[in-house]
Amino acid sequence: MPTVYQTFQESAEKFPNNPFLHIPSVATKAYQDTGVDLTYRGASQLIEPLRLAYSAAGYGVGHRVALLLENRVDFFLHWLALNGLGVSVAPINGEMPIEEMAYLLDHSESCLAVSIAEKTGVLAAAASHAGISIPIINVYDTDEIPEASSDASNVIPGEQAECALLYTSGSTGKPKGCVLSNEYFLNCGRWYTSLDGLCEQKMGQERLLTPLPMVHMNAMACSSVAMIMSGGCIIQLDRFHPRSWWDTVAETKATIVHYLGVMPAILLNFPESQTERAHQVKFGFGAGVNPRHHQIFETRFGFPLIEAWAMTESGNGGVLIANHEPRHIGTSCIGKPSAAVEVKLVDEKGNEVAAGEPGELLVRAAGDNPWKGFFTEYLKNPEATAEAREGGWLHTGDVIRAGEDGQFHFVDRRKNVIRRSGENISALEVEAILSEHPAIDQVAVAPVPDEIRGDEVMACIVLKPQTENSEATAHAIFKHSYDNLVYFKTPGHIAFVDQLPLTSNQKPKRADLKVLCRELVEQGNCYDLCHLKKRQRS
């Protein structure tokens, strides 16, 4: 199975009448009145004319096409059609600001952009901003595909050919373009479909529901390729719809759901309903659930949330997953490495940490090829590629702790760790506790300089509507944190802001956040509560 396209075609021959893609009407309201249902045969009959049209226009190996097609059926059709010719795709998030779109169009060196009708003007403005000329076509005008601007290579596409260029979130700088091969995608599918324990699946029978965006590896490489490889059905939402979530899960007969950490917290805030247990879900797959919500969620909704660790650079070549008991629910457990993965935890000097101590996770594939299933490189950035792969290990930047039984527990991103008076504090942990306060809509935590302690913890908070921006509110939030965390982790500074610096993927821009926090403290535009932080005594 050398390419994703050929894998799809094999499944179309084996499971022609199996449902391939279902997009519920709740996810298509923006562009049509009904949902989408395609069998493998039906999808193949739509993909082939597209593949031939691109081929006739000269597209092939060595070309890259930008896709701004959201989570619509067109994304799947154009991706597979282009992959069948050896053309790589560069998915673009339509919610990006023009400056970031401009960067991606320019940096990716895409020779064509295919867009939903509503975004063609935005893409044109982004190209103009970047000072580049690139043909942009409406996805429904594929009978007018412009000729490729350069000749395609005569090489036959295989597993090592580039399948996609996915960009990191850019939370600490410019996004890096991860070059991902067909092998990367197929390895994701093989890994997922071979899972056992709590994640065992049946060939041709699974229905996987995901609200995650196709610009990310989870939806594009993991859930999509796993279902393609096993003849399962992809149930693709445009986004997370919390109010209708359980209705959709039940109506679509989903057997697997994918989630982000914030989703369980939101669902737990809704009152109980008749549909929340009227489902066929065997497990949820994701990362970042608040440890305090994990058991509550499983007890209430009746299926396990399987926490896993991976990143775009590692793919599923270096994945960890807690799909076997004991899962140590409530501890951010991400499981043990399989025999196919080698790991070690190191300190800031690269030395392995003592047992039980947190350290940066280094990971590689076991065997002769340590990079099997990993990203190929950062596009046009050999220095960053070499740094990420220094010493023959992928340096993840994630801080992990190993338990006594060998299970790994996620702590935080190394760059998010705040060092106060010798104590390492996870910004993620503090954010999780603060987010439970009813006054808080959004929160991000960062360090600010402290002459005595090195760093002090600061929280930037967007309050919910009708919540008073006052010292009393700050004190209430402080007390909530103080009551639920060891004292030194509680924010000593709290600032209420209109908005947080976020990436297009709605993650905090950590570098910008640190600058903002420092400025707010220097200007006195925050509540200084450091004097209230005292060691709690029993």
- pLDDT level of residue 537 (50, 70, 90 thresholds): very low
The CA distance from 425 to 488, in Å, is: 8
- Rg (C-alpha) for the chain, rounded Å, is 24
Distance of CA 177 to the CA centre of its chain: 15
Lowest mean per-residue pLDDT among 10-14, 223-227, 274-278, 533-537: 533-537
Q: What single letter denotes the amino acid at residue 249?
A: V
The CA distance from 425 to 429, in Å, is: 8
Please count the other Cβ atoms lying within 10 Å of the Cβ belonging to residue 380.
13
- Sign of the torsion angle spanned by Cα atoms 206, 210, 215, 216: negative
**Across the chain, which distance is largest between two alpha carbons, in Å?**
77
Q: Taking CA 458 as the corner, what is the angle to CA 455 and CA 462, rounded to the nearest 5 degrees? A: 165
- Sign of the torsion angle spanned by Cα atoms 239, 241, 245, 250: negative
Give the pLDDT of residue 536.
60
Residue 405 has pLDDT above 90, yes or no: yes
Segment 176-201 shows an average pLDDT of: 97
pLDDT in tens, 486-503: 888 999 999 999 999 987
Distance of CA 351 to the CA centre of its chain: 29
pLDDT in tens, 284-323: 999 989 898 999 999 999 999 999 999 999 999 999 999 9
Closest CA to 187 of 236, 221, 136: 221
* Domain spans, the chain: 421-532
Q: What single letter denotes the amino acid at residue 187?
A: N
Strands 19-23 and 233-236: parallel
Please give the share of the chain, as a percent, with pLDDT higher than 70: 98
Give, as one character, the DSSP assignment of residue 352.
B
154 token code pair: 């005569």
Closest CA to 28 of 325, 237, 277: 237
Is residue 16 within 8 A of residue 39, CB to CB? The reply is yes
Give the contacts of 258 (CB within 8 A, at least 6 positions apart).
208, 209, 210, 211, 212, 218, 219, 223, 284, 285, 286
H helices of 348-419, in order, are 382-388
Give the pLDDT of residue 169.
66
Please give the share of the chain, as a percent, with pLDDT higher than 90: 85
Q: Three-class SS string for 311-368?
A: CCCCCCCCCEECCCCCCCCCCCEEEECCCCEEEEEECCCCCECCCCCCEEEEEEECCC
pTM value? 0.85
The CA distance from 27 to 90, in Å, is: 23
Q: N- to C-terminal Cα distance for the chain?
A: 62
- pLDDT level of residue 99 (50, 70, 90 thresholds): confident
533 token code pair: 């932080």
The CA distance from 169 to 160, in Å, is: 25
Is residue 387 within 8 A of residue 313, CB to CB? The reply is no
Closest CA to 102 of 117, 87, 85, 122: 122
Closest CA to 376 of 175, 180, 222: 180
Closest CA to 428 of 451, 397, 454, 404: 397
pLDDT in tens, 230-274: 999 999 999 999 999 999 999 999 999 999 888 998 899 999 999
Give the pLDDT of residue 424.
75
Domain 421-532 is classified in which CATH homologous superfamily?
Answer: ANL, C-terminal domain (3.30.300.30)
pLDDT in tens, 115-155: 999 999 999 999 999 999 999 999 998 888 999 999 999 99
